[in-house]
Amino acid sequence: MSQTFTTTLSTLRRHQDSRIARILDGKDADFKVISGQVFVDRDGTFFKYILDYMRTGQITLPAEFSDYNGLAQEAQFYGLHPLALWVERNSHRSRVEVLELRFSVQETHGFFQIFCSNNKTLEALARRISIFVEHPNLNGNFPHLPQNSSTPHPVPVQRPSHHNMVFHCGTDQLARDDFSARFVTIEPDDRKLLNSTNVLGLLVDTLLKDGFRLIDTRTVSQEEKTECYMFERSRNTQIVVLSETPRAEHLRRQDTQSQLGEGKKK
């Protein structure tokens, strides 16, 4: 099944050292030019990425993309060697993020530990989670907090390392009728949640909406009542490649300097 792509002559000739820059010369047997249209017997699935690279110098591969060898071969065929080299060198890199959520309940507190293989993902999630501590006098009406209770005090999420974070919610009894309450909010939801089960439900829902997939649940410790939830997410891969190799750029610069030197001699 044939596919048709439309582009400009300047795009085709942007990478002057490539085979595709000479596509309209009529001297390459693999390219047949008929009435201004070029026919080539190659896989059109890859050519849309090739065309993106020629236009912008970069391509973005979808999360489900897997045929890196095929893309590298097509890049080689069209003479786009910097792209082919980058794909070959980076095809082995992991494109799956792994996130582990540990949840435990101790008396009136719910504790959360989150580990993630991608530090940037964890940083983004930490910015969305806010902890607020209130010290209202509940006069025995707990857990129905009054709307005009004392001003909440923000508490930052703890980051023991680059790849994990820790926070908790719940209540502490300070005196006979006095409680300290620790609430959690997770953007874009603006609710202040005190119940740890509700926080767990919102956190799982947030991860699923962000593209993570729940792959396993297990109980880590029966005594500590610690539950573990494993998630994974395939990441889009963006490939940014210079249109020329450093060697080619260096030679071009040397040639320019040589021409300028000859001009001065004249």
Task: Read off the pLDDT of residues 249-260 as tens digits, 9 standing for 90 and up.
Answer: 443 444 434 344
Checking if the pLDDT of 205 tops 50, the result is: yes
Query: Helices 68-77 and 44-56 sit at what angle, rounded to 10 degrees?
Result: 70
Q: Decide if pLDDT at 30 tops 80.
A: yes
Among 87-96, 99-108, 146-155, which stretch is predicted with the lowest mean pLDDT? Answer: 146-155
**97-115 b/e with 16+ CB inside 10 Å = b?**
bebbbbbbbeebebbbbbb
Ranges of beta strands (E only) in 58-108 are 58-61, 96-106
Question: Tell me, what's the pLDDT at 123?
Answer: 93
What confidence tier does 183 reach under pLDDT thresholds 50, 70, 90?
A: very high
199 has a pLDDT exceeding 90: yes
Q: How far apart are CA 73 and CA 164, in angstroms?
A: 39
Q: What pLDDT is stored for residue 146 in this prediction?
A: 44
For the chain, give the mean pLDDT.
79
The Cα–Cα gap between 168 and 104 comes to: 9
- Among candidates 102, 74, 72, 99, which has minimal Cα distance to 87? 72
Residue of 143 and 42 predicted with greater confidence: 42
**CA-wise closest residue to 121 among 93, 102, 96:** 96
Distance CA 88, CA 67 (A): 11
pLDDT at 201 over 80: yes
| Distance in angstroms (rounded) separating the CA atoms of residues 94 and 104 | 30
Q: Write down the pLDDT at residue 238.
A: 62
pLDDT at 58: 84
Q: What is the band of 148 on the pLDDT scale with cuts at 50, 70, 90?
A: very low
Q: What is the DSSP letter of 21?
A: G
The whole-number pLDDT of residue 256 equals 38
